[in-house]
Each structure stands twice: as C-alpha cells, then as structure tokens.
C-alpha cells in the first residue's frame, strides 16, 4: 500500500459510514421533533436500524469500493489521487520539549530537573544561558525548601522526644526509702531525697 493512501483505500469509511452518520443524525432529529430528548435503548435500536438500512445498500457499498479502485482492482485510480512529491528527508531533530521552570515539590521532580539541567548544559550551543540559569535557580529553591522542611521535621522530632521523656519521668517518680535503724546526718538525708 502506498504511503499516505490509507484514507483512499478505506471505501467503507467514506462510502458507507459517512452516509450512516448523516442518516442516524436525521433519525435523532426526528425523535427530537417528537420531544424525545433522552434516547434510551428502546429509541436507539429502531433509529440505528433505519439509518443502517438507508446507508448500507448494495449499490452504495459497491460504488464505495469502485470509487476507491479496490474492486475491480484499479491501482491507477489510487495512484492518480496521490500527490507524490519525491524529496530527501531531513534528519529528524530531537524535539526540544517545552518546559516551564517551577520549584520541584518531591524527589521525582528534583531528579527530572537535574536530568534536564545536565542535558541542557551538554547541549549548551542550542540552549539559552538564561533558561539554564532559571532552571538552576528553581532547582536551588526546591532543594532549599526540602532541606528547610527536613530541618523543621528534625527539630519537631527532637522536641517531641524531649516532651515524651519528660512525661515518662513525671509518670514514674523516684521512690527512695530511708532504711530503718540507720543513723544519718541531716545533710545525708537531704542528699538521699534530692
């Protein structure tokens, strides 16, 4: 099959399904005229059958294949419709993805920006230094945000651990007993209680 000729070699698309769409549209418009605005299966099936019978006639189907040059086989009909222009293909350039600089909010976005920066720096001839600087600034901002939030979380964890230890210490007071029949001085007694 010649390139760019699939639409010409699909006779049912042009010769039958296009008339089917028009016939079904007419059936739906007739239903709307009768104030049937919501089409259920009960309305769809008869409308679809009537549209199909109108569009897929033997004469219509045969003329579609004949017009496409498929039956009887006439390759010249298809080739004459093609606008063939020979040219040397240009090498495919890698499309430069449009990218909007924004602060990464998670590790995956940070990785993607790092990869982008590396690629842009490698191909610096074709990219603008202003774009690279903007990307680096956004990456820097994202890294700072992540580092600051990690620092805040560490501080919060430390304060919660200290509060937890203090609460446990309050729940379990030290029980010190003075032994019976032991003489001690006032200073020794205060040391034991402290």
Rounded Cα gap, residues 14 and 186, in angstroms: 112
> pLDDT, tens digit, for every residue of 70-123?
777 777 766 676 666 667 776 665 555 566 667 777 777 777 877 887 777 777
- Residue 130 pLDDT level (bands cut at 50, 70, 90): confident
32 burial (CB, 10 Å; 0-12 / 13-18 / 19+) is exposed
Rounded Cα gap, residues 169 and 139, in angstroms: 45
In the chain, domain spans: 11-81, 107-171
Rounded Cα gap, residues 80 and 83, in angstroms: 8
Rounded Cα gap, residues 142 and 129, in angstroms: 20
């Amino acid at each position: 099959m010649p390139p760019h000729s699939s639409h010409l070699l699909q006779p049912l698309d042009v010769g039958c399904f296009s008339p089917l769409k028009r016939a079904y549209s007419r059936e739906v418009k007739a239903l709307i005229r009768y104030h049937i605005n919501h089409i259920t299966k009960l309305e769809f099936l008869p409308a679809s059958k009537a549209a199909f019978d109108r569009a897929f006639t033997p004469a219509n189907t045969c003329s579609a294949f004949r017009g496409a040059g498929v039956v009887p086989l006439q390759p010249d009909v298809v080739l004459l419709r093609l606008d063939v222009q020979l040219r040397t293909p240009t090498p495919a350039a890698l499309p430069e993805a449009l990218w909007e600089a924004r602060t990464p909010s998670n590790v995956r976005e940070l990785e993607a920006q790092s990869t982008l920066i590396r690629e842009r720096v490698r191909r610096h001839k074709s990219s603008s230094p202003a774009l690279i600087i903007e990307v680096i600034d956004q990456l820097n901002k994202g890294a700072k945000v992540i580092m600051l939030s990690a620092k805040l979380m560490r501080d919060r964890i430390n304060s919660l651990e200290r509060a937890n230890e203090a609460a446990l210490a309050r729940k379990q007071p030290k029980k010190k007993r003075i032994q019976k029949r032991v003489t001690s001085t006032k200073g020794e007694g205060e040391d034991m209680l402290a």
